[in-house]
Amino acid sequence: MATLMSNYARLPVTFTKGEGALLWDTEGQSYLDALSGIAVCNLGHAHPNVTAAICEQAQTLVHTSNIYGIEHQRRLADRLISLTGMENAFFCNSGAEANEAMIKLARLYARRKNIPNPAIIVTHNSFHGRTLATLSATGNPKVQQGFEPLVLDFIHVPYNDVAAIQQLAEQDNIVAVMVEPVQGEGGVNVPADDYLNQLRTLCDQQQWLLMLDEIQTGIGRTGQWFAYQHNQILPDVLSLAKGLGNGVPIGACLARGVAAELFSPGTHGTTFGGNPLACRTALAVLDSIEQDNLLQRVNELSEYLKKGFATQLSEVQGVQSIRAKGLMIGIELDHPCAELVQQALAQHLLINVTAGNTIRLLPPFILTDSQADKIILTVSGLIKSFLAMH
Ligand SMILES: *Cc1c(COP(=O)(O)O)cnc(C)c1O
C-alpha cells in the first residue's frame, strides 16, 4: 500500500529542479511551466533574489514565536499596508487559513452588531479552501461532499449577479459578502468590470463587510498589485497567500476600518504564521516585482497571449470563449477536456484544466516572449486536434 494518503490524483512526473519558467524531471527532461504551481511561483523557480533572501534568513533566524516581536513580520505588514491601502495584517501559512481569519472577523463583527446567527454571502463556483469553514463557503458541492455537517451559515448566490445579492438586503442576519475578484478554480470567470464597485456600494449601504479572497488574484497576477485596484475601491477584509512567498508557505489576512479592530489578544493565532523566514521571503518577492517592473510585464504578456490565442483559435469551432485578466487565462471548450493536461505534459508543457472544460494558464511573470510563443502554439495545437476528434 502506498504510504501517501490518496487525496491527490497526481500526474506521472516528478520534478527535482527549476529555473525561471522551466522545470526538470527525475530523468533530466525539461518542461515549460505555464501554471506556476497554481499561481504560486510568479517569479519563476529559484529566483535569485528570493533564493538569496531564504538562504540569508535561514542562516540568521527561522522561527521564534508570536509570543515575541518579529521584525520582518512588522516590515511585511507595513509594506502590504502601503501597497493595499488596508490598515493591519495577520499572517498565517496558507490560503485556507487566511480565509479562516477572514470568516472569524465576520463572526466577531456579528457579535459587535448583536447578530447571534450571522450569515455570509458567497458565490456559486467559488473556491475558498479545504478546511471545514472554507469548504462550507466554497460554491462547489464536490468539495463539500462527505464532510457534512457544514459550517453555518453561508448563502450561495450566482457569481457576477449583484441583483441576486440585492434581493437578500432585507435579511437582517447578513454580515458580509465574500468573493474572488476573478474566480480561479471555478473556471477563470471574469465578472463585469463594475462588479466589485457595485458590491462595494451595496456593502456600504447595508453595513456588510466586503471580504475579497485575493489568494489567487493578488500579488500582481491580474496586472495590478491587487485585483480590486482595477476598480479603485477598497475591501474591508482581504485574504492573500499563493504568490506572496513564491513557494515559501505564507498567507495573510488584511483588514481596514471596523474590521481592523476586531481581534484582541487571544482571539486568534498560529504557531508558524509570520515567522522570520516566510516574511523575509515575502519582502524579497514584493521587492523583486517592483524592481523588475513585473506588473507592466504581466500586462504586456497578457495582451500578447490574448492576441496570440485569438489569432490561433477565434475561428475554431468548439472554442466557447477565451477569458483573461492579466496572467489568469481561461480557454473554455464545448467539451470536458481534462485529457489535455496529459497531452500537454507529453509535449513538456504544464497546464491545468478546471471546471471540466476550461484550460487554465497561470504562467510566471518572468516568462520570455519565445516561451509565450511556445505556450500559444502548443496549447492551440492541442485544442485543434482535440476538437477535431470530438
Ligand atoms: C488556492 C486558493 C485558496 C486556498 O488556498 P490554500 O493555500 O490551498 O489553502 C483559497 N481561495 C482561492 C481563491 C484560491 O485560489
Question: Mean pLDDT across the chain, nearest whole number?
Answer: 98
pLDDT of 69 reads: 98
Q: What is the pLDDT of residue 333?
A: 98
Annotation says 242 is catalytic: yes
Binning pLDDT at 50, 70 and 90, where does residue 32 land? very high
> Which ligand 1 atom minimizes the distance to the CA of 184?
15
Query: Which amino acid is it at 326?
Result: G
Query: Which grid cell sits at 29?
Result: 527532461
Residues with CB under 6 A from ligand 1: 94-96, 99, 127-129, 180, 184-185, 213, 215-216, 241-242
Condensed to tens digits (0 to 9), the pLDDT of residues 275-332 reads 999 999 999 999 999 999 999 999 999 999 999 999 999 999 999 999 999 999 999 9
Over residues 99-114, the mean pLDDT reads 98
In the block, residue with C-alpha cell 508557505? 249
pLDDT for residue 211: 99
Q: Probe ligand 1: pick from 36, 92, 103, 127, max atoms within 8 Å of CB?
A: 127
| Ligand 1 mean position, distance from CA 390 (Å) | 33
DSSP classification of residue 189: B
- 235 pLDDT band, cuts 50/70/90, is very high
CA atoms of 24 and 13, how far apart (whole Å):
10
pLDDT band at 61 (very low <50, low <70, confident <90, very high): very high
Average of pLDDT values for 257-281? 98
Q: How far is the CA of 80 from the centre of ligand 1 (A)?
A: 19
pLDDT of residue 1: 75
CA 128 to ligand 1 centroid distance, Å: 6
pTM flag (> 0.85): yes
pLDDT digits (tens, 9 = 90+) for 130-181: 999 999 999 999 999 999 999 999 999 999 999 999 999 999 999 999 999 9
pLDDT at 231 over 80: yes
Residue nearest atom 15 of ligand 1, based on CA coordinates: 216
Give the number of other CB atoms < 10 A from CB of residue 301. 25
d(C-alpha 112, C-alpha 118), whole Å = 11
Using DSSP, state whether 174 is helix, strand or coil.
strand
Residue 78 confidence (pLDDT): 98
Dihedral angle computed from the Cα positions of residues 9, 10, 12 and 17, in that order, rounded to the nearest 10 degrees: 180
Residue 59 has a pLDDT of 98
Give every strand in the sheet of 119-123, ordered side by side. Answer: 88-92, 251-255, 237-240, 209-213, 174-179, 119-123, 154-157
| Residue 150: predicted pLDDT | 98
Is there a catalytic annotation at residue 91?
no
Mean pLDDT of all residues in 52-69: 98
Catalytic residue among 127, 226, 263, 309: 127
Let me know how many helices (H) and strands (E) the chain has, helices first: 12, 15
Nearest to 153 by CA among 137, 167, 138: 137
pLDDT of 158: 98
Q: Provide the pLDDT for residue 274.
A: 98
Residue 346 has pLDDT above 90, yes or no: yes
| Distance from residue 283's CA to the centre of ligand 1 (Å) | 21
In the set 242, 263, 365, 374, the catalytic residue is 242
With 80 as the cut, is the pLDDT of residue 185 above it? yes
Output the CA 125–ligand 1 centroid distance in Å. Answer: 13
Residue 110 sits at φ, ψ, to 5 deg, of: -65, -45
pLDDT range class, residue 355, cuts 50, 70, 90: very high
Q: Going by CA atoms, what residue is nearest to atom 10 of ligand 1?
A: 128
What per-residue confidence (pLDDT) applies to 206? 98
